[in-house]
Amino acid sequence: MRWAAQMGVGTLPRLRAPWLAKVGRLRQVRAWQRALDGSERSLQRWAYAITLFLLLAIVVVFVGISSWF
């Protein structure tokens, strides 16, 4: 208990600063994770749209070829 009293108030900011830095880094990582999760969902939607567009193009080509014969 005596060592805690001898530490004084000046030590608290030194102990607090690393923790604030860690929390700040964790918040930044979490923000990046949210941003990347959102872009990943967007890319998945684009993958579905591109797949449907390619299937439509294939059907149009087959219908066009079959109408020639």
23-26-32-38 Cα dihedral, nearest 10 degrees: -100
- Residue 6: predicted pLDDT: 58
Query: Which residue stretches of the chain have pLDDT < 50?
Result: none
- Residue 16: predicted pLDDT: 75
- Residue 2: predicted pLDDT: 58
- Residue 61: predicted pLDDT: 94
SS3 category, 69: coil
d(CA 12, CA 66): 81
- Residue 55: predicted pLDDT: 96
Distance of CA 14 to the CA centre of its chain: 33
| pTM score over 0.85 | no
